[in-house]
Amino acid sequence: MPLDQAHAIRDARLAELHPQLDAALRGRTRLTLEVGCGHGHFLTAYAKSRPEELCMGIDLLEDRLARAGRKSKAAGLSNVLWIHAEASLLLQALPPHVRLGPSIFVLFPDPWPKRRHWKHRVIQPAFLSMLAERAEPGTQLCFRTDYAPYFTEASAVIIGHAAWRVDVADTWPFEEPTVFQSRAESYQSITARRR
């Protein structure tokens, strides 16, 4: 796709997201975010256990979000939002008064095993910088994957990023298997705190 066409699509999506987020987040200052929430198993259970937090699950696939919406509605939850958005665009469109915290989850993201596709992996230094810009001090970033090479690479990126501090004594804040977790033979996790 030519660059100007890609930029036009991005700008159009941002123009849709800005008013949607302004309306959804009016009067709210703090948000727990799950990037690539899929069918919403994890975040629905998390939101139920943390009624005092506002939670937002984002994904590229609308059918997965629709399923997530049905799940949280059936659970009677009013503290979880499902937004159809790409992660970087979401962060660009987030109203300036809204901070990310106390948690950010990236669970079983697409592993993109082929080297030429690594640029599509969500954990990248620039993305961690964008998250850090919007996160409160102390916000916990929680990453989990069943693809060992991605875990190795993502851990190096997180540990090497100046805005995030890994504390091996830190614990995973909440357990509920995602769809991909329930299919995985094993997985690895890392957490970090916004400095």
Ligand X SMILES: C[S@@+](CC[C@H](N)C(=O)[O-])C[C@H]1O[C@@H](n2cnc3c(N)ncnc32)[C@H](O)[C@@H]1O
* C-beta closer to ligand X: residue 166 or 184: 184
Of 1-9, 12-20, 54-62, 96-104, the window that binds ligand X (rule: CB under 6 A) is 54-62
Distance CA 67, CA 40 (A): 8
In three-state secondary structure terms, 102 is: strand
Q: How far is CA 83 from the centre of its chain?
A: 11
Q: Which listed residue (122, 141, 154, 158) binds ligand X by CB under 6 A?
A: 122
Q: Give every CB contact of residue 188 below 8 A, 6+ residues apart in sequence.
A: 144, 145, 146, 148, 151
Contact status: 134 vs ligand X (CB under 6 A): no
Cite the beta strand spans of the chain per DSSP E. 30-35, 55-59, 80-84, 99-107, 140-145, 164-165, 188-194
Distance CA 110, CA 34 (A): 14
* C-beta closer to ligand X: residue 110 or 170: 110
For the bound state, the minimum distance from the C-beta of residue 185 to ligand X, rounded and expressed in Å, comes to 14
Question: 4, 110, 146, 170: which is the annotated catalytic residue?
Answer: 110
Whether 110 is catalytic is: yes
Of 20-28, 29-37, 154-162, 168-176, the window that binds ligand X (rule: CB under 6 A) is 29-37
Task: Looking at residues 56 to 115 of the shown chain, list those that interact with ligand X (rule: CB under 6 A).
Answer: 58-61, 64, 86-87, 107-110
Residues with a catalytic annotation lie at 110
